[in-house]
């Protein structure tokens, strides 16, 4: 039986029709709302690529059900900025050329954004700790750390 769930995503209230309101938020964002920022990486909460901000806190969209996300503010990578107007963290990633395949960057940028919202000038160990659960297979870590440092300086 299809169910309607109301979501607040990137500042817009939208309704999605789903068969199972227990479905992870990730699939509603990707399939119902056609968003591409939150990515499927493992579906097990192990890699970080699906991260979104939920009421300003980073959560893994593969682990949280649609029901639990309803009535909370969801912000995805798209909601932070656009190619024309990137957020300070996104701009710092561009400036540092902090990407190889870039598939993991959603988790990196969401977690870095959450870190910088709370910690003005994080040390390198603090940055590493904040991103410790975000996996990158290409080995872009050093550029990502530099990008977060750059974003912190700019903030």
Partner 1 sequence: MLDFVSTRRDVLRTGGALVVAFTFADAALPALAESSSSRKTVESDEVDGFLSIDADGRVTVYSGKVDLGTGLRTALTQIAAEELDVSLDRVGLIQGDTELTPDQGPTWASLSIQIGGMRIRQAAATARKALVEMAAARLGVLATELRIEDGLIKGGDKSISYAELVGGGSFSLKIDKDVPVKDPTSYTIAGKSVPRLDIPSKVTGRFTYMQDFRIEGMLHGRVIRPLAIGARLESVDETSLNGIPGLIKVVREGNFLGVVATTEWGAIQATRKLKATWSNWEGLPEQARLWDYVRATKINSDKVTANVGDSTKALRDAPKHISATYDFAIHTHGSIGPSCAVVEINQGKITCWSASQGTHRLRRQLAAMMDVPLDNVHCLFIEGSGCYGRNGHEDAAGDAALLSRAVGGKPVRVQWMRADEHGWDPKGPPILVDLRAGVNDEGGIIAWESEFFVPGDGLAPMSLVAATLAAVPPTPITEPYRYGNPDIMTTNSAIPYTFPNIKTVAHLLAETPFRWSWVRSPGRLQNAFANECFVDELAAFVGADPLDFRLSHLNDPRGAELLRRLASLAKWEQRRSPRKSHQNDVVAGRGISYAKDFPSPTYVGAVADIEVDRRSGEIRVQRFFVVHDCGQVINPDGVRNQIEGNIIQTLSRTLKEELLFDRSAVTSLHWATYPILTFPEVPDVIIELVDRPTAKPSGAGEPAAAVVPAAVSNAVFDALGVRLRSVPFTPAKVLAAIESSARRPSREL
Cβ neighbours of residue 85 closer than 8 Å, sequence gap 6 or more: none
The reply on whether position 81 binds partner 1 by CB under 8 A is yes
Q: Considering Cα of 125, then 131, then 137, then 139, what sign does the dihedral take?
A: negative
Answer yes or no whether residue 34 interacts with partner 1 by CB under 8 A.
Answer: yes
Residue selected from 25, 54, 69, 131 as contacting partner 1 according to rule CB under 8 A: 131
Q: How far is the CB of 6 from partner 1 (least distance, A)?
A: 18
Q: Where are the alpha helices (DSSP H) in the chain?
A: 25-27, 66-69, 77-80, 88-95, 105-118, 124-130, 141-154
Residues lying near partner 1 in the complex (CB under 8 A): 2, 18-20, 23-24, 27, 30-31, 34-44, 46-47, 49, 76-78, 80-83, 86, 90, 93-94, 97-106, 109, 125, 127-129, 131-145
């Amino acid at each position: 039986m299809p169910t309607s769930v109301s979501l607040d995503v990137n500042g817009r209230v939208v309704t999605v029709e789903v068969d199972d309101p227990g479905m992870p938020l990730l699939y509603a964002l990707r399939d119902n709302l056609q968003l591409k920022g939150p990515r499927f990486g493992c579906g097990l909460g192990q890699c970080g690529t699906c991260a979104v901000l939920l009421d300003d806190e980073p959560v893994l969209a593969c682990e949280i059900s649609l029901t639990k996300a309803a009535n909370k503010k969801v912000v995805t990578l798209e909601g932070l900025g656009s190619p024309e107007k990137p957020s300070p963290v996104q701009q710092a990633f561009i400036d540092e050329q902090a990407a190889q395949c870039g598939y993991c960057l959603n988790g990196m940028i969401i977690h870095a954004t959450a870190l910088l919202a709370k910690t003005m000038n994080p040390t390198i160990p603090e940055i590493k700790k904040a991103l410790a659960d975000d996996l990158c297979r290409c080995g872009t870590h050093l550029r990502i750390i530099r990008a977060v440092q750059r974003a912190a300086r700019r903030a």
